[in-house]
Amino acid sequence: DAKTTQPPSMDCAEGRAANLPCNHSTISGNEYVYWYRQIHSQGPQYIIHGLKNNETNEMASLIITEDRKSSTLILPHATLRDTAVYYCIVGRGGADGLTFGKGTHLIIQP
Amino acid sequence: DTEVTQTPKHLVMGMTNKKSLKCEQHMGHRAMYWYKQKAKKPPELMFVYSYEKLSINESVPSRFSPECPNSSLLNLHLHALQPEDSALYLCASSQRTSGGLPYNEQFFGPGTRLTVL
């Protein structure tokens, strides 16, 4: 019973904004939305998280819909090094551990 | 130091061997995790340690035995493994705040790639 749904793969041109969607229609009120990515043969890397409000950091922006049932991760100027599997995860965080879904394989094209 | 280190990077073992995986962090994090990742699959949570005590065991077979000897070190002892246990074993750590906001970022190590023959 997946808590999130993501497209299995996406392409984006280098230099363009990459917009990765995620559906999480069963999210609870105390659950956060986390985004991690995993570049081939490396450990996952934290990108950003949010609860209700939109968030931005040096890596990306996170847009969460008002009903919190979906979100979009935005990489504003994608580079070849952003090619990775991107995981959208919902959970309480803390020391609960992360439940990864299948993720989206984002391929940045030169 | 914002790094989680794991040793060894690669391990090949027979089904009758006993081996251990080691994970270390010096960020003062009090939660540490083991995940297992099979090829082309997402990571799966195995164990969580919080303040050096096992807090979550995701029904992992007893041939995997975790140990947290201190707040910086996490081990995974392996005994009588099966070929299907071949995978990338990832360690992670995060801050643990008692009663604080549960939004902790997890820092992952590069993993140990285990092959069981």
Mark yes or no for CB contact B31/A94 under 8 Å: yes
Task: Kindly report which listed range (A50-54, A72-76, B78-82, B92-96) carries the lowest average pLDDT score.
Answer: B92-96
Predicted local confidence at residue A94, as pLDDT = 64
Report the pLDDT value the prediction gives residue B47, as an integer from 0 to 100. 95
- Shortest Cα distance, chain A CAs vs residue B79, angstroms: 24
Residue B111 confidence (pLDDT) above 80:
yes
Higher local confidence (pLDDT), B108 or A94: B108
Residues of A in contact with B35 (CB under 8 A): 98
Q: Of B97, B78, B95, B74, nearest to B87 (Cα)?
A: B78
Q: Is residue B21 a contact partner of residue B32, using CB atoms and an 8 Å limit?
A: no
Q: Could you please report the per-residue DSSP string of B81-105?
A: --GGG-EEEEEEEE---TTS-S-PP
Q: Which two tokens stand for residue B10?
A: 């690669």
CA distances to A102, A109, B77, B106 from B30, rounded to whole Å, are 28, 40, 20, 11
Give yes or no for residue A100 having a pLDDT over 90.
yes
- pLDDT-above-70 percentage for chain B: 91
The CA distances from residue A87 to A73, B23, B48, B85, in Å, are 10, 23, 20, 23
Closest residue of chain B to A47, computed from CA coordinates? B105
B 4-23 residues inside an 8 A Cβ radius of A: 4
**Residues B90, A14: Cα–Cα separation, whole Å:** 30
List beta partners, residue A103: none
pLDDT value at residue A75 = 98
Q: Which neighbouring-strand residues pair with A35?
A: A48, A88
pLDDT > 70 fraction of chain A, expressed in percent and rounded: 95
- Predicted confidence band of residue B113 (pLDDT cuts 50, 70, 90): very high
Tell whether B66 lies on the interface with A, counting CB pairs under 8 A.
no
Chain B CA closest to residue A33: B103
Q: Which pLDDT score, from 0 to 100, does residue A1 have?
A: 46
Cα separations (Å) of A23 from A20, A27, A48, A73, A103?
10, 9, 16, 12, 11
Over 80: is that where the pLDDT of B103 sits?
A: no
Task: Please name the residue of chain A whose CA is at the shortest distance from the CA of residue B6.
Answer: A43
Q: What is the pLDDT of residue B7?
A: 98
Size of interface A-B (CB pairs under 8 A): 66
